[in-house]
Amino acid sequence: MKKTIRDVNVKGKVVLIRVDFNVPMKNGVITDDNRIVQALPTIEYAISQHAKLVLFSHLGRVETEADKAKNSLAPVAKRLSELLKKPVLFVPETRGAALEAAIKAMKEQDIVMFENTRYEDVEGKKESKNNPELGAYWASLGNIFVNDAFGTAHRAHASNAGIAKNISTVVSGFLMEKEIKFIGEAVDNPTHPFVAILGGAKVSDKISVIENLLTKADKVLVCGAMAYTFFKAQGYEVGTSKCEADFVELAKTLLEKGKDKLVLPIDNVVAKAFDPEAPSKIAPTEHMPSDMMGLDIGPATIELFKKELKSAKTVVWNGPAGVFEFERFAVGTKAICTMLANLKGATTIIGGGDSAAAAIQLGFEEKFTHISTGGGASLEYLEGKALPGVTIIQDK
């Protein structure tokens, strides 16, 4: 068990909180504040315990001076202030006298937020290459480090591993605690039957996940474009579908290893073009037309998946079943959402990324036990990898 902010006395202390405020922005306006909302419980708890809060996050990719302008955290600080109904002092620096003075002047329950940690990447990738001097500097600004950014837990950066190395107390926030509990337990200690649903475009992204889950899950349901690489491995025609030729041999190995644990689509929605308005038809997996591409799972597959999920007690889902951005090819993804939303007595977890976006977009957010905030991090967790941003947190 990892220590959380509940396990330490933060009263009067400068508490450094690494949050994940990497929110989508358009012309300086936040288009989805879900990640800010998810961080509120930790922030509100620290305020209630009379801490002095110093918050920091990355936002977008920052590689040039021009990137800085469009990736400032100023709008995020403003939104956070509105949500907390409390002032948040934004310091548009990542280090230096102005930041140090602002922290020094803090009273209990004050909040200071400093600028995008990736600004440090413009000269020599100091943040994302975990520059030791930068990690030590940030650590020197506070007494306690709370890592609540699961979205970056799969990376050792100066703003997580670098600080942790140079500070005596490292604990998790409540969001990180939740991610460790749900995803960690689902993989290491699931209630059976345990079913994993893996979709998305590439087998190459999910090989290790499939390998790990075949040893732990009772069934692994494969959908999305990556299913076509498996069809090819079975010797079927895949037409103009997205297929990773380099991974066909590996898919064969996984099919042999998985046997009847690995469940593939039995029919597909196919069209002549990757187009939201393309006329489509249903084709069985064994008879895909050579001039068409698969863009979603078909009705027979939806029924098959329903059968496989019926008695499941733990379900982890990562990756959509089709091109869910196109309304007419979102049927499979919606069906999976609906099935899981109505699964009685089961722990249902979405491992971030596109499937999380789909569930939220389709209005199913409240119906899942847990929706992960980290795509890449949750994938690596499902692979059974140790995440640097989790291992740095002290054990109870």
Question: Residue 143 CB: number of other CB atoms within 10 A?
Answer: 17
Q: Is 68 a catalytic residue?
A: no
The C-alpha R_g of the chain, in whole angstroms, comes to: 23
Catalytic residue among 60, 376, 384, 385: 376
Q: Which of 76, 83, 106, 94 is nearest to 12 (CA)?
A: 106
Q: Which amino acid, residue 369?
A: T
Structure-block tokens of residue 243: 């297929």
Structure-block tokens of residue 350: 């979405």
Structure-block tokens of residue 92: 């548009």
Q: Which of 102, 5, 1, 94 is nearest to 44 (CA)?
A: 5
Q: Distance between CA atoms of 44 and 84, rounded to whole angstroms?
A: 8
Catalytic residue among 2, 13, 35, 52: 35
Q: Which of 203, 240, 202, 223 is nearest to 324 (CA)?
A: 223
Classify residue 347 by its DSSP letter: E
Q: Distance between CA atoms of 159 and 146, rounded to whole angstroms?
A: 11
Classify residue 179 by its DSSP letter: H
Catalytic residue among 135, 353, 375, 389: 353
Bridge partners (DSSP) listed for residue 197? 221, 317
Q: Is 28 a catalytic residue?
A: no
Q: Distance between CA atoms of 53 and 333, rounded to whole angstroms?
A: 40
Catalytic residue among 68, 86, 165, 202: 202
Q: Distance between CA atoms of 190 and 207, rounded to whole angstroms?
A: 21
Q: Is 353 a catalytic residue?
A: yes
Q: Distance between CA atoms of 2 and 25, rounded to whole angstroms?
A: 33
**Active site residue ranges:** 35, 202, 353, 376
